[in-house]
Amino acid sequence: MLNFARGRSQPRSSRSMPMSGMEYPDPKKNNNFVGKVLMAATLTALCIVMLKQSPKFNAPSQFSQHEEGVTHVLVTGGAGYIGSHAALRLLKESYRVTIVDNLSRGNIGAVKALQELFPEPGQLQFIYADLGDAKAVNKIFSKNSFDAVMHFAAVAYVGESTLDPLKYYHNITSNTLVVLESMAAHGVRTLIYSSTCATYGEPEKMPITEETPQVPINPYGKAKKMAEDIILDFSKNSDMAVMILRYFNVIGSDPEGRLGEAPRPELREHGRISGACFDAARGIIPGLKVKGTDYKTNDGTCIRDYIDVTDLVDAHVKALQNAKPRKVGIYNVGTGRGRSVKEFVEACKKATGVEIKVEYQPRRPGDYAEVFSDPTKIRRELNWTAQFTDLQESLQIAWRWQKAHPDGYAAAS
Ligand SMILES: NC(=O)c1ccc[n+]([C@@H]2O[C@H](COP(=O)([O-])OP(=O)(O)OC[C@H]3O[C@@H](n4cnc5c(N)ncnc54)[C@H](O)[C@@H]3O)[C@@H](O)[C@H]2O)c1
């Protein structure tokens, strides 16, 4: 190796000689400089030649070409709660995964956790991009060879959607269109779409089957229903394999404690019940506010169907494995059992061991009294049933992660 440091450490006076107030260049220094530039150029050229000769230099990235026996899945929103758990499961099963996320709501810490678990080249890549940027999305599709897309990325709070509906139509409906257009343009033929029971609105009859009319009552549900309609219309004249999964209320986290749910603190007020329970148990908020005690339910509080995230991602893998060209599958993903908010709070108290303070308040606009699924179709067609149906156990697992990560993923980011 050549030692450039010696030249640099020469005393300043020896580089140029001031004469009669004028600076004359020192010819020796000039020679030195030209020599250094030449040497640097030679070394750079040498490096390029050596790199080019290395077998990896010209090899295209593993993400850019299809490989027999390897299914490459684009996971949009993979830095988020459900998307990161889905990516973990896919990686564990040797799928190749590309996460695209704009980190508006997700956590780079979740991506880092996945990268640490799956560091081998060709397993996982993360691309920071906004799905609203059609040009960027198109570029991602042209540089990568995806076999399937799991489209999780979305803003996903009912309350927020009533305050800022345009954000929801833009982020959910028009971004789904962008993803679909890129899939069509680049011949990606399998789509697993994250939909929601909010597309059903407030049906009279329980449980909700896939035939229950969809009459959403808030912008979140409406935006998701519109996205579903776009996908369904497109699928009529294409050979795309489509699976639409309508999730009920998702709770829990990875039983091995590698990932968790860590929404942005500023979204707490819109947040979901499990997050609020944990925040109350940790003393971040003074207690729980249960909104509505006069619903026509057994104990007067709302009834929901809580599905563990581990079961949910299992449904995604089964949907992917059973997706068929020119076929559309629409499935409810729930346990089939409704639990009241009061039941949930009791389970949360036991799971955390904290006597959480509960304040009962009037109903929140946009909330439905009772929602639970009929999961017969997914059981029959995809051989899927919820396994993690013990509310307290799911909450205990999630609580363990919360306690181990009091600042969410902050330490990792
Ligand atoms: N959590 C639930 O209970 C629930 C229930 C039904 C349906 N869903 C659906 O599941 C999906 C995932 O929800 P989640 O709970 O994991 O939410 P999340 O907020 O944790 O994750 C969503 C991810 O999408 C990313 N994202 C948002 N807009 C983006 C954009 N324009 N470009 C790129 N990335 C973007 C966010 O940064 C985040 O990482 C959503 O489609 C949601 O509607 C969730």
Range name among 21-25, 307-311, 370-374 with the lowest pLDDT average: 21-25
**Tokens read off for 229:** 């309609």
Q: Give the number of the atom of ligand 1 that is nearest the alpha carbon of residue 130.
A: 32
Question: Using one digit for the tens of pLDDT, what is the confidence trace for 351-363?
Answer: 999 999 999 999 9
Candidate list 95, 193, 220, 306, residue with the active-site label: 220
Pairing state between β 22-25 and 16-19: antiparallel
Q: Give the number of the atom of ligand 1 that is nearest the alpha carbon of residue 251.
A: 3
Domains within the chain, CATH numbers bracketed: 70-412 (3.40.50.720)
Ligand 1 site, CB within 6 A: 77, 79-83, 101-106, 130-132, 152-156, 171, 175, 194, 196, 247, 249-250, 272
For residues 284-307, give the mean pLDDT.
94
CA 81 to centroid of ligand 1, rounded, Å: 7
- pLDDT at residue 270 tops 90: no
58 falls in which pLDDT band (50, 70, 90)? Answer: low
CA distance linking residue 178 with residue 399, whole number of Å: 37
Contact 326, 335 (CB under 8 A): no
- pLDDT at residue 20 tops 60: no
User: What is the per-residue DSSP string for 65-77?
Assistant: S-BTTB-EEEEET
Beta bridge partners of 25: 16
- pLDDT at residue 286 tops 50: yes
Question: Using one digit for the tens of pLDDT, what is the confidence trace for 177-234?
Answer: 999 999 999 999 999 999 999 999 989 899 999 999 999 999 999 999 999 999 999 9
Q: Whose CA is nearest to atom 7 of ligand 1?
A: 196
CA distance linking residue 150 with residue 128, whole number of Å: 16
- How many CA within 13 A on the CB side of residue 31? 3
More confident residue, 270 or 193: 193
Q: Whose CA is nearest to atom 13 of ligand 1?
A: 82
Residue 376 has a pLDDT of 98
Residue 411 has a pLDDT of 54
- How many CA within 13 A on the CB side of residue 140? 29
Closest CA to 79 of 70, 88, 71: 88
CA 150 to centroid of ligand 1, rounded, Å: 11
For residues 386-397, give the mean pLDDT.
98
Residue 54 has a pLDDT of 53
Range name among 54-58, 189-193, 202-206, 364-368 with the lowest pLDDT average: 54-58
The contacts of residue 260 (CB under 8 Å, 6+ apart) are 253, 254, 398, 401, 402, 405, 408
Q: Whose CA is nearest to atom 18 of ligand 1?
A: 80
Residue 129 CB neighbours (<10 A): 17
95 is catalytic: no
Residue 49 has a pLDDT of 52
How would you classify residue 177: left for phi > 0, otherwise alpha for psi between -120 and 50, otherwise beta?
alpha
Range name among 15-19, 158-162, 165-169, 279-283 with the lowest pLDDT average: 15-19
